[in-house]
Chain A
Amino acid sequence: MTTKHFAGIEVELNDEGFFVDPAQWSEAMAPELAEAWGIPTPLTDKHWQVLRFMRSEYFEKGTGPTVRKLGKTSGVTVKELYQLFPKGPAKLAAGCAGIPKPRGCV
């Protein structure tokens, strides 16, 4: 576990770089997090649509959605998801949205 500063606030990250406590996240941190995760910036409305969806799913279900789930229910297609988050949409969006890494094989 490590601590890092985003938008001037100290947060706790696990060994993989995901937030330990999603409540520590704020929207102001997203641009810096996006850069840290290698997400093409600046963040667009579509990025935000995915980030907000990730968080609402996490708080509703206790786990973030997989890419397939995102493609089916977030309103952003799988193709677009990979354009927005080239190195793995669910993983990168979870990191940028301050929630744990989603677990799921499909």
Chain B
Amino acid sequence: MTITQQDASDATAAAAPIEKVSIVISKGSLEEIYPGLIMANGARAEGIEANLFFTFFGLDAIHKKRIDHIKVATVGNPGLHIPTWAGGLPGVSALMTKYMEHQIEELDIPGIKEFVEMISDTGAGLYGCLASVDLFGIERDELIDQVDDVITVGEFYEMAAGGQIIFT
């Protein structure tokens, strides 16, 4: 293939609109859950089909008892610009979470529970990872009602076929 042909096919690929995204949420802290939710919601707002796959600690975002207690990670999080030793002090994570939740509310961004429910209402699919559910011994009824199914990684790839996969 000549360089010109390569350029032409690159240009075609770049111009093709995204029609489907499958977003993996694999971590359970506030700052690791929101981006995936915002991307899923934003995809639906653009008319793009979206599925969310919650795996490992990301399952907390669809766990009835944990969804309202998602915290900011204050240890090992250089983006917060506080010393690591300070992040580990009792109450710091709770305080930082409260502060961030306040900031988020100021911007009129919904809390995680409301956001997940809204994303389900937009028609996006919500799926739990079977291996993680088994690993943590989570029962299906411990997950919020909006969850469409608990699926294997193979089923996830089938569902994601023809679209983009985003891992967060």
Contact = CB atoms under 8 A, between A and B. Distances in A.
Given A86-B47, A88-B44, A91-B45, A106 B122 contact: no
Do most interface residues of chain A lie in helix, strand or loop, or is the interface mixed?
helix
Contacts of B46: 88, 91
Interface residues of B, number: 16
Interface residues of A, number: 18
B110 A106 contact: yes
Contacts of A89: 45
A82 B108 contact: no
A68 B44 contact: no
B41 interface: yes
Interface stretch (A27-35, A41-49, A52-60, A71-79): A71-79
Contacts of B118: 68, 71, 78
A40 B1 CA distance: 44
Interface of A: 66-69, 71, 77-79, 82, 86-92, 105-106
